[in-house]
Structure 1
Amino acid sequence: MKFEKRDVILITGLLLFMVGLLPFMAPLYAVLIVSLMYFGVKFYVGRRTKLIQRDIGLEGLCMDCGSKIVNKKCPHCDISDKE
């Protein structure tokens, strides 16, 4: 989990959420809840990013059909061009 620019927005939002929780519970519990939310969001985003990168692959997507590029060729578009 590395720190990115958009984490500043996440931290700011969670701090405001914590301020909203303070009238209803002890500050320790509010900090605990916000900390769990931060790590939960970071874990979820990290897993989704890995899943998307696995689906896309290292070479990217075809701009015509959207399938994954293998060996710098689209398996669908390059076959249809030959026929």
Structure 2
Amino acid sequence: MKFERRDILLIVGLLLFMIGLIPFMAPVYAAIIVILMYFGIKVYVGKRKQSIEKDVGEGICMECGSQVFNKKCPNCDYSKE
């Protein structure tokens, strides 16, 4: 879990969420909930990014949108031959 620039926006949003929770519960519990939400979001985004990279592989064909294998599109390159 690497810290990126967009994490600043996530932290600010979660701090505002924590401020919104404070009137309804103790600040300690609000902080615990926000910390768990931060790491939960980071894990979810990391797994989602890995699944997208696995699905894309070498790249995506710009004409039909299918996955590229061995620098050739299985739909476009084989239909031309």
* TM-score for the superposition, normalised by structure 2: 0.97
Runs of 4+ in 1 over 2 A off after TM superposition: none
Give the AA of the match of 1:56: V
Q: Percent identity at matched positions?
A: 65
Cα distance between partner residues in 2 of 1:4 and 1:66: 29
Name the residue aligned to 1:32: 32
The RMSD of aligned alpha carbons is 0.6
Give the AA of the match of 1:70: F
Name the residue aligned to 1:23: 23
Name the residue aligned to 1:73: 72
Give the AA of the match of 2:37: M
Task: Report Cα offsets for 1:13-61 as digits up to 9, x if no partner.
Answer: 000000011111111100000000001100110110000000001x210
Q: How many residues align?
A: 81
- State whether structure 2 residue 31 is matched by structure 1 residue 7: no
Give the AA of the match of 2:65: G
Deviation at 1:70, TM superposition (A): 0.8
In structure 2, the gaps of 5 or more residues are none
- State whether structure 2 residue 47 is matched by structure 1 residue 47: yes
Give the AA of the match of 2:59: G
Deviation at 1:77, TM superposition (A): 0.4
- State whether structure 2 residue 34 is matched by structure 1 residue 61: no
Deviation at 1:80, TM superposition (A): 0.7
